[in-house]
């Protein structure tokens, strides 16, 4: 019997847990970055977030009510190995162990991610992702977690959206650790992230477990009448955003990055691509929107420019709503990688909406429309042959949205960040009904 399609929600440790200094957790780069004046909008603090570290049972109850059969959460590396390497913090592992058991008791498949951007600060101080040693430290941490929970959790995501962590964290400086590296330094970061994935995948697989990589993918749109320069810009953006963290894993080679002035990726040693190639038992796709890519101005630093997609609705974050982009992404992966492509999971999809409170109800029609259209887009991709095995809404509870603090609300559940009161929104009921209708029926696209 094939396993059922996974209907889930996704979250990340730093965005929900709070309790940053409790039970032996060490500081992470996001603790440090968020404390910098101006780093997070209005100085919002991640110290409490959704207080999930204390209220996790309530959140598991919400998952149960929602009727999901899978939950994607992340394990905080600095809870498990507070200094990044060296002593393991048993209390940190205990927290996730209890969560896993509580999920399993309710028939919910735990779908953990090992790294959702919260690098232990001690590793950052030793060079962070610019240092090759961080990759082996990650593999050691992965082994520790797998030894503790691998008996109950068969499938693991190594990294969340390495391209976003690389670009926002190490080039734009708008996410932790807040660096402004240029090519080629930023490509060394990419290589060490890929090496970390490959080494961790080997640890997981040697224990009989599956290793997946989750990428943020954004299909390229061009202007109505593209010039050759627009097409070249689109190809450059595609190589950097969509293929840098996929080609090496699925094809065993880096995409052509010559448009970025990089003849080669720095830090690649003999044997590295062998570690990285073929190291994914599944690809997680986080999809939010396509990108309009244009030729850059003369003398611009990058070989592309990003334009604004017009004529479609936008989310509260200002992101364009283009559900067909999700179909294009899933089908495009199947076409590009063919036999080399393992099963796909949509590991994040969702939107930030303005919620309106009506008689104690939280109405979010924008989110309902977003989810319905994107679930239909997944169906369309499956009907066209894409092997999609699951769909996860970002996210369960309104949470700490990185540099936006608590301003953007992506949850199916409203959180009052003063009182921590959780109120399921209308979209919660809608998603619950979709799941109920679809899990009762045979597993095929509608
Ligand atoms: C994910 O990142 C993260 O994994 C998650 O932690 C986060 O909370 C969630 O998404 C929501 O942000 O300028 O209009 O073209 C998403 C990464 C990068 C996706 C910026 C959208 C640009 C939109 N995002 N991107 S636009």
Q: Name the residue of 114, 168, 288 whose CB sits within 8 Å of the most ligand 1 atoms, as the mutation to test its pocket.
A: 288
Output the pLDDT for position 360: 83
Output the pLDDT for position 262: 83
The Å distance, Cα 303 to ligand 1 centre, comes to 22
Atom of ligand 1 nearest to the CA of 12: 6
Report which protein residue has its CA nearest ligand 1's atom 18: 164
73 in contact with ligand 1, CB cutoff 6 A: no
CB contact at 8 A, 158 and 201: yes
The Å distance, Cα 317 to ligand 1 centre, comes to 9
- For residue 389, give both structure tokens: 């095995």
ipTM: 0.98
* Ramachandran bin of 139, using left for φ above 0, alpha for ψ from -120 to 50, beta for the remaining angles: alpha
164 in contact with ligand 1, CB cutoff 6 A: yes
Question: Pick from 55, 73, 150, 151: which is nearest to 114 by CA?
Answer: 73
Distance CA 172, CA 165 (A): 10
Report which protein residue has its CA nearest ligand 1's atom 8: 401
User: Cα-atom radius of gyration of the chain, to the nearest Å?
Assistant: 21
74 in contact with ligand 1, CB cutoff 6 A: no
Q: Name the residue of 159, 312, 348 whose CB sits within 8 Å of the most ligand 1 atoms, as the mutation to test its pocket.
A: 348
Maximal C-alpha separation, the chain:
64
> Alpha-carbon torsion 429, 434, 437, 439, what sign?
negative
Q: How many other CB atoms sit within 10 Å of the CB of residue 389? A: 19
Atom of ligand 1 nearest to the CA of 399: 8
Output the pLDDT for position 94: 98
Atom of ligand 1 nearest to the CA of 352: 11
The Å distance, Cα 69 to ligand 1 centre, comes to 25
Output the pLDDT for position 441: 53
209 in contact with ligand 1, CB cutoff 6 A: no
Output the pLDDT for position 247: 98
Atom of ligand 1 nearest to the CA of 395: 8
What DSSP designation does 403 have?
G
Output the pLDDT for position 339: 97
The Å distance, Cα 271 to ligand 1 centre, comes to 33
Output the pLDDT for position 263: 85
Report which protein residue has its CA nearest ligand 1's atom 21: 288
What's the predicted TM-score (pTM) here?
0.97
12 in contact with ligand 1, CB cutoff 6 A: yes
**HEC secondary structure over the chain:** CCCCCEEEEECCHHHHCCCCCCCCCCCEHHHHHHCCCCCCHHHCCCCCCCCHHHHHHHHHHHHHHHCCCEEEEECCHHHHCCCCCCCCCHHHHHHHHHHHHHHHHCCCEEEEEEECCCCEHHHHHCCHHHCCHHHHHHHHHHHHHHHHHCCCCCEEEEEECHHHHHHHHHHHCCCCCCCCCCCCHHHHHHHHHHHHHHHHHHHHHHCCCEEEEEEECCCEECCCCCCHHHHHHHHHHHHHHHHCCCHHHHCCCCCCCHHHCCCCCCCCCCCHHHHHCCCCCEEEEECCCCEEEECCCCCCCCCCEEECCCCCCECCCCCECCCHHHHHHHHHHHHHHHHHCCCEEEEECCCCCCCEEECCEEECHHHHHHHHHHHHHHHHHHHCCCCEEEEEEECCECCCCHHHCCCCCCCCEEECCCCCCEEEEHHHHHHHHHHHHHHHCCCCCC
Report which protein residue has its CA nearest ligand 1's atom 22: 319
The Å distance, Cα 147 to ligand 1 centre, comes to 32
216 in contact with ligand 1, CB cutoff 6 A: yes
Cα separations in angstroms, 315 against 308, 310, 333, 353, 432: 13, 13, 26, 6, 22
3-state helix, strand, coil in the chain (%, to 5): 40, 15, 40
Distance CA 28, CA 77 (A): 8
161 in contact with ligand 1, CB cutoff 6 A: yes
Catalytic residue numbers read: 161, 348
- pLDDT tens per residue across all 446 residues of the chain: 468 999 999 999 999 999 999 999 999 999 999 999 999 999 999 999 999 999 999 999 999 999 999 999 999 999 999 999 999 999 999 999 999 999 999 999 999 999 999 999 999 999 999 999 999 999 999 999 999 999 999 999 999 999 999 999 999 999 999 999 999 999 999 999 999 999 999 999 999 999 999 999 999 999 999 999 999 999 999 999 999 999 999 999 999 999 999 889 999 999 999 999 999 999 999 999 999 999 999 988 899 999 999 999 999 999 999 999 999 999 999 999 999 999 999 999 999 998 888 888 999 999 999 999 999 999 999 999 999 999 999 999 999 999 999 999 999 999 999 999 999 999 999 999 999 999 975 544 44
- Cis status of the peptide bond prior to 395, with omega within 30 of 0: yes
């Amino acid at each position: 019997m094939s396993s059922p399609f996974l209907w889930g929600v996704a979250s990340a440790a730093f965005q929900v847990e709070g309790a940053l200094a409790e039970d032996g957790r060490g500081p992470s780069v996001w603790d440090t970055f968020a404390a910098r004046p101006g780093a997070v909008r209005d100085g919002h603090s991640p110290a409490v977030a959704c207080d999930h570290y204390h209220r996790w049972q309530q959140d598991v109850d919400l998952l149960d009510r929602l009727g999901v059969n899978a939950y994607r959460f992340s394990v905080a590396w600095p809870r498990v190995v507070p200094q990044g390497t060296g002593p393991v913090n048993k209390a940190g592992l205990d927290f996730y162990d209890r969560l896993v058991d509580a999920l399993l008791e309710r028939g919910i498949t735990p779908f953990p991610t090992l790294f959702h951007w919260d690098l232990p600060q001690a590793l950052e101080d030793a060079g962070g992702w610019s240092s090759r040693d961080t990759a082996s430290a990650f593999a050691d941490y992965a082994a520790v977690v797998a030894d503790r929970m691998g008996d109950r959790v068969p499938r693991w995501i190594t990294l969340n959206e390495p391209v976003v962590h690389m670009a926002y964290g190490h080039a734009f400086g708008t996410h932790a650790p807040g660096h402004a590296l240029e090519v080629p330094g930023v490509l060394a970061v990419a290589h060490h992230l890929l090496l970390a994935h490959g080494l961790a995948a080997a640890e997981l697989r040697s224990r009989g477990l599956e290793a997946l990589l989750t990428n943020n993918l954004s299909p390229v749109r061009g202007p109505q009448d593209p010039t050759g320069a627009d097409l070249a810009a689109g190809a450059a953006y595609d190589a950097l955003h969509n293929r840098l963290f996929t080609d090496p894993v699925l094809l065993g080679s880096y995409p052509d990055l010559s448009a970025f002035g990089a003849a080669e990726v720095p830090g690649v040693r003999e044997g590295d691509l062998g570690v990285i190639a073929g190291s994914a038992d599944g690809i997680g796709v986080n999809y939010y929107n396509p990108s309009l890519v244009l030729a850059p101005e003369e003398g611009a630093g990058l070989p592309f420019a990003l334009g604004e997609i017009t004529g479609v609705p936008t989310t509260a974050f200002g992101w364009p709503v283009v559900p067909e982009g999700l179909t294009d992404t899933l089908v495009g992966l199947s076409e590009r990688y063919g036999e080399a492509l393992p099963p796909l999971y949509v590991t994040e999809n969702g939107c930030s909406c303005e919620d309106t409170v009506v008689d104690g109800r939280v109405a979010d029609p924008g989110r309902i429309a977003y989810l319905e259209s994107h679930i239909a887009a997944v169906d369309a991709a499956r009907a066209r042959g894409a092997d999609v095995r699951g769909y996860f809404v970002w996210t369960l509870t309104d949470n700490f949205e990185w540099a936006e603090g608590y301003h953007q609300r992506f949850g199916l559940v409203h959180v009052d960040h003063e009182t921590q009161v959780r109120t399921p929104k209308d979209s919660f009921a809608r998603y619950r009904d979709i799941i109920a209708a679809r899990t009762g029926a045979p597993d095929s696209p509608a």
